[in-house]
Amino acid sequence: MLTPTFISKKEHMFNSYGKELSLIFITPGDYVSLIAKGVAPMILERDEGGFFKKVFNVHPYASQTQSLNLNETHRLIEFGRDYPFSFLNSNLGKKVNYLFKPLWIVNALIFLVKTEHIDMIRATDPFWCGFYAWVVSKLTHIPYCISIHADYNKRYRLAGRKGGIPLLFKILEKFVLPRAQLVMPIRESLGQKLLDKGVNRERIRVIPHGISTHDFMRGDVENIKESFGIPSDKKLLSFVGRLAKDNYVYDLIELARRLSETRSDFVILLVGDGLERGRLEELIQKYHLSSFVMFPGFQPKERVISIRRQSLIALSLMGGFSLIEACAAGCPIISYDVEWHYELVENGRTGFLVKENNLEALTHAVSYLLDHPAEAEEMGVRAQKLAFSRHDISKTSEMKKNYYRELLQYRVSS
């Protein structure tokens, strides 16, 4: 069993408070998975350009237990599924782990707060991560915030759970959200839902996702059609994300089937991986769509950007960060009219919003853009301008730093 170790604080560079700031960032991630998806470098953005001199990135439910220095600022601490009793492999051992692991994690986080002089905690879900943040905050008197990244109830339902969020998660959410010093949804639509969950309006701060606009302006773009063996006369459509039910991936297969009945001038790239891939590939074979749909799997960030930039249409029926990136790449977007999509997908200007699960309207919208490439290009230009104006990382990072400064006052005033 690998026990997490902690770095001593280095005294160099001070912020406006006259001291270095340290943050515990608790998120339900897994480093191995993040590497596979090509998004692990995004961890290094959590220091907000040097605002934090130490960031301890904690994954409570990872595939393995480990503690790693990512660089001088960032440390990764993961608690594996078998932590802390790795020597117990029986069913009894699993039950013991399930009961005692939360206590062990809380103890490790309190030790981290005391030894590293942590200033604040951020949790990225209102369930177990939020609960750990609340417990540690309560016992150490440092402030915590919770960032909200999705309509979790809808996501659970789309994934096949009719009742939405599990009961235990509903209890945790109802408990920790009203007690957080700040609650930070990543978009306005999520902020409205928080009011119904008992969160004080005065404690809600919207923190939009940020992107590096420079990444989408490079001149050295890989020839994607050549790399994947796609005929040059085919028009490229792309989806980037998890191959999961809550991303409406089965609607994309049905879209390909319907389009293939009347035309052959397109290829859909489903970039990413997930639990549904095997079943999706079976459907491709069943409907004889192998010349219309490709599964390149996870791809490096640079290649993903090239795929987006060379796509005539971005298929983002359900999108978060992926929707922002698609717009930033200069693609017209086809999205379902759900959640926050209306903020970036201006119907008829930056793409088309389609009623949820309306496959006829979805097919019509895609066909229209395939038949009007010049108009599609104009929409893409407008989509890029909109994404750059709202999600440039220099702007969104400054917003977060202001909110972190505000959060710090809760400790100063206590």
Please name the helix (run of DSSP H) or strand (run of DSSP E) that holds residue 116, with its range, or none. Answer: helix 91-116
CB 251 within 8 A of CB 316: no
CB atoms within 10 A of CB 167: 9
List own/partner pairs for 296-300 with CB under 8 A and 24 or more apart: 296/228, 296/269, 296/270, 296/271, 297/271, 297/272, 297/273, 298/36, 298/37, 298/38, 298/271, 298/272, 298/273, 299/38, 299/271, 300/38
Identify residue 361 by its one-letter amino acid code.
A
- Give the distance, in angstroms, between the CA of residue 360 and the centroid of all CA atoms in the same chain: 29
Cα–Cα distance measured from residue 409 to residue 197, given in angstroms and rounded to the nearest whole number:
24
Can you name the residues that pair with 59 across neighbouring β-strands? 78
**Residue-wise pLDDT tens for the chain (414 aa)?**
233 333 333 333 334 444 689 999 999 989 998 988 888 888 999 999 999 999 999 999 898 889 999 999 999 999 987 665 555 555 655 555 666 788 889 999 999 999 999 999 999 999 999 999 999 999 999 999 999 998 999 888 888 888 889 999 999 999 999 999 999 999 888 888 898 888 999 999 999 999 888 888 877 678 999 999 999 999 999 999 999 999 999 999 999 999 999 999 999 999 999 999 999 999 999 999 999 999 999 998 889 999 999 999 999 999 888 999 999 999 999 999 988 899 999 999 999 999 999 999 999 999 999 999 999 999 999 999 999 999 999 999 999 999 999 999 887 554
Q: Walk me through the domains of the chain, giving residue ranges and CATH numbers.
A: 22-210+393-412 (3.40.50.2000), 213-391 (3.40.50.2000)
Can you name the residues that pair with 266 across neighbouring β-strands? 235
